[in-house]
Structure 1
Amino acid sequence: MVLGSALPAVAETTASDVEPFLVEGRIDDGIAAMKTRLKTAPTDAEAQYALGIFTTLEAVENLSQNLHKYGLRPESPRIPFMRLPVPLNPNPEKLTYAKWRGIMQQFIDDLGVADAELSKVDDPDVKLKLPVGLIRMDLNGDGKSEDEETFWKVFTAVAWRAAKLDEDQQRFEIGFDKADVHWLIGYTHLLRAMGEAYLAYDTEEFFDNTAAIFFSGIDSPLAQLKADQRNAFMDQFADAILAIHMVNFEVAEPQRMEAARQHLLTMISHSRLVWEYCTQETDDDREWIPNAKQTSLTPLTVNEARIQGWAMFLDEAEMVLEGEKLLPHWRVPGERGINLKRVFTEPTRFDLVGWAHGVSALPYLEEGSKVSPDTARTLGQTFGGRFTVFAIWFQ
């Protein structure tokens, strides 16, 4: 061997190296394999990307398994963090308020791990073409990944209920590129913002009286009440009224509200990076977020007007979060509006009915530039009346 000779090049990770772990639902094995790979090839961007994807899936899988452990009811209302299609558990463990907060904190922490791994992907030309429709997960923690435990089922239940795949689309291959790195990172921040905002408040009384609506593994005062099996609508109506009535929370950990605001601001910055990379692309290779010249894998269409409209929305949202623009309230006349930044930085008791009424907004009212109704109308027209659908897709 000649001293100073170059070491043989190590082949980059390819989709074929990653796909078996995904389609077989071996998320933990995939994480271990990519970590081993990166020890020998620390500059392998595709391996780092795969590790970020695996850790993101692990966060969702862990949350799902926790929900299953405590008997999430399949028929429960589909509110955030409760929309995962978890299989029925006939023998759930007992859920307490402390355990529930622990579940939420674990999800936040797991997403932080995913964010950290995805943030290490620094190659602008990184690419992994993966069969999203075939990705399996162990949603109930039994060590198996069944046909019904697919990531696509989770995605459609949580985010895009209309996104169904026919037999010819079952593989649904997506070419994940650098733009999608920032798309994934942005979603980790959005979900953490929601979790931090929830944990900022003392919701124990709400939990004690409403958790049995969602979980079978809990003792609740509702168990003493008779359900009308002939008219389930009245039960659901009564439960909804109770839930609304009890959304009146004292602040428990106010610093979490500022953490939530920072997550939202970071999400906005990554959404801008999605489009910075996306609009520079010249290929057209199974794009998840396409530019105006690329082919969409969804029924939705991207054009220059919608790209500019989304940029306008991000600018407005950032100014609102920074207190540079005020939010209108239907009962507040004149030039006054709600300083949303202060809602996060100076949190007080959260009373849902009080906010709807207007009385809870009074401490945060200021005079200044407000978000114009024209902005909402412009966005509605630009996105064909489907702004919310596009927002879920674009993030």
Structure 2
Amino acid sequence: MRLFPLAALAALAPLPALAELDLSAELSTTSISAMLEQLRARPAPDADTHFAIAGLEFLGAVERTYQLRARHGLEAFFASPFTGYMDGPHPPAPEPLTAEVITQSLTDTLAAMERARAALDAIPSEADPALIVDFGAPWFDIDGDGARGDGEGMADLVGPALVGTWTWRERPQDAALPVIRFDAADRHWLRAYTQLISGTTEMILAYDPAPAIARVLASRAEITAAQPDPNRDLYGFGSFVDVVAMLDGTLRQRPDATRTRAARTHWLGMIADNRLFWAALATETDNDREWIPNDRQTSALGIEFPEGLDQTWGAVLDDAEALLTGTRAIPFWRAPIGLDLNAFLENPAPVDFVGWVQGWAALEYRSDAPPISDTNWRAFSRVVQGRTGLMMLTLN
């Protein structure tokens, strides 16, 4: 799981804690969808309830992706913003994957992120929620039977991505999982993550991977039927070729410019919300079971967040914004030439891998803006001591 594990954990922040109310016990046996129904049914939802709904909407989107991948026997699925390897329950007889299923899954994810943002936007700006969650409680109903089963605990599914597979497996089995107290600043973090997921989903839909995936899967079924010997492809090269064919077929299509522009808007929104998060975080004076801490706090996750992270990450965000607005350009590998990401998102074209590497396709987006340097990125990597992947997932 590459993109969502930390978001999935942090999205549980919205568990109302007013009057010492804690939904963790209920979430240990109640499904995400059932809990959402209960919260939506409240006649006068308060700020904490809106926060809870937002987080569970995010988790519901993650859960539906797990369900799709399990139902169709997919260990990895690139046509989703929630990508990467999947562990957990699998059905004995996977269903065929169709183009319609893929498109509907992506559309559902967009709708869920919109609902999550609507819930967050319903929280009064002056509200100061304090929400507590035990990460051992929630679970994903992967097999869709409405009951918690083996391998469906959220911590077991996303823990390896959070701390590393071997670290997770070697931990004491009776070790307590983190309990986090989320606060007002974290709602901006969650909103930023919904923007990231929405932008990524819009970008996937812009190139519509469904037809290419369906075509490759159909050809693979025919090839398998003609050569059923499972030992013929011991090293999985055929599966690798299938994925490359899916990507190539997807990117060669004429993209929907409306969606690429929407992706840019969401990504810029992610940057804006992320800055609101860091500004709010800087004003905190407590140190109580923190998620992402400021320099005076400690994270309850057991992950070290180095001092000055807000400054180095803020510089990376500045670079990202410059690329998305066209004030800086992407360096081209063969010459000191800049490529305009903003222009590409405004008027996108089919992507020819060879053409972009050689240059004839890339030069259509040549820019006079100064190419961006890797100075801020290298500074960020130094501060986090090479843990760039983990920190990017955490900070979005």
Q: Which has the larger radius of gyration?
A: 1
Alignment TM-score, normalising by the size of structure 2: 0.84
Q: State which of 75, 83, 105 in structure 1 corresponds to 2:107.
A: 105
- Sort the Cα spacing of 1:79 and 1:125 in 2 relative to 1 into closer, same or farther, 3 A: closer
Query: What is the CA-CA distance between 1:314 and the residue it aligns to?
Result: 0.9
Q: Does 1:127 align with 2:130?
A: yes
Which residues of structure 1 form unaligned runs of 5+? 1-10
Q: Helix, strand or coil for the counterpart of 1:99?
A: helix
Question: Which residue identity is paired with 2:183?
Answer: D
| 1:36 corresponds to | 41
**Is the 8 Å Cα contact of residues 213 and 246 (structure 2) preserved in structure 1?**
no
Query: What is the CA-CA distance between 1:263 and the residue it aligns to?
Result: 0.8
Q: State which of 200, 209, 224 in structure 1 corresponds to 2:206.
A: 200
RMSD between superposed Cα atoms in Å: 2.9
Indicate the percent of aligned positions where both proteins have the same amino acid.
Answer: 29
Q: Helix, strand or coil for the counterpart of 1:232?
A: coil
- Sort the Cα spacing of 1:51 and 1:330 in 2 relative to 1 into closer, same or farther, 3 A: same
Query: What is the CA-CA distance between 1:118 and the residue it aligns to?
Result: 2.2
- Sort the Cα spacing of 1:157 and 1:193 in 2 relative to 1 into closer, same or farther, 3 A: farther
Which residues of structure 2 form unaligned runs of 5+? 1-15
Alignment TM-score, normalising by the size of structure 1: 0.84
Query: What is the CA-CA distance between 1:204 and the residue it aligns to?
Result: 4.5
Q: Does 1:328 align with 2:334?
A: no
- Sort the Cα spacing of 1:108 and 1:85 in 2 relative to 1 into closer, same or farther, 3 A: farther
Q: State which of 263, 267, 270 in structure 1 corresponds to 2:270.
A: 267
Q: Helix, strand or coil for the counterpart of 2:182?
A: strand
Alignment of 1:157-176 (within 5 A): 161=164, 164=168, 166-167=172-173, 169-176=175-182
Alignment of 1:223-242 (within 5 A): 223-225=225-227, 229=231, 231-242=234-245
| 2:29 corresponds to | 24
Distance 1:223 1:265 in 2: 47
Q: Helix, strand or coil for the counterpart of 1:175?
A: strand
| 1:378 corresponds to | 379
Q: Does 1:64 align with 2:66?
A: yes
**Is the 8 Å Cα contact of residues 25 and 137 (structure 1) preserved in structure 2?**
no
Distance 2:279 2:269 in 1: 15
**Is the 8 Å Cα contact of residues 19 and 131 (structure 1) preserved in structure 2?**
yes
Deviation string 1:114-159 (CA, Å, 9 cap, x unpaired) is 2211222234421111112321121121121224212223434666
Question: Which residue identity is paired with 2:59?
Answer: L
Query: What is the CA-CA distance between 1:220 and the residue it aligns to?
Result: 5.4
Alignment of 1:1-395 (within 5 A): 13-14=18-19, 16-37=21-42, 39-40=43-44, 42=45, 44-69=46-71, 71-74=72-75, 80-83=81-84, 84-122=86-124, 123-156=126-159, 161=164, 164=168, 166-167=172-173, 169-211=175-217, 219=221, 223-225=225-227, 229=231, 231-243=234-246, 245-333=248-336, 336-395=337-396
Kindly tell me the number of residue pairs found equivalent between the two proteins. 375
- Sort the Cα spacing of 1:343 and 1:15 in 2 relative to 1 into closer, same or farther, 3 A: farther
- Sort the Cα spacing of 1:205 and 1:322 in 2 relative to 1 into closer, same or farther, 3 A: same
Distance 1:239 1:262 in 2: 32
Query: What is the CA-CA distance between 1:245 and the residue it aligns to?
Result: 4.8
Greater alpha carbon shift after TM alignment, 306-315 vs 346-355: 346-355
Query: What is the CA-CA distance between 1:299 and the residue it aligns to?
Result: 4.4
| 1:4 corresponds to | none
Question: Which residue identity is paired with 1:87?
Answer: P
Q: Helix, strand or coil for the counterpart of 2:361?
A: helix
- Sort the Cα spacing of 1:346 and 1:96 in 2 relative to 1 into closer, same or farther, 3 A: same
**Is the 8 Å Cα contact of residues 17 and 132 (structure 2) preserved in structure 1?**
no
- Sort the Cα spacing of 1:135 and 1:170 in 2 relative to 1 into closer, same or farther, 3 A: farther
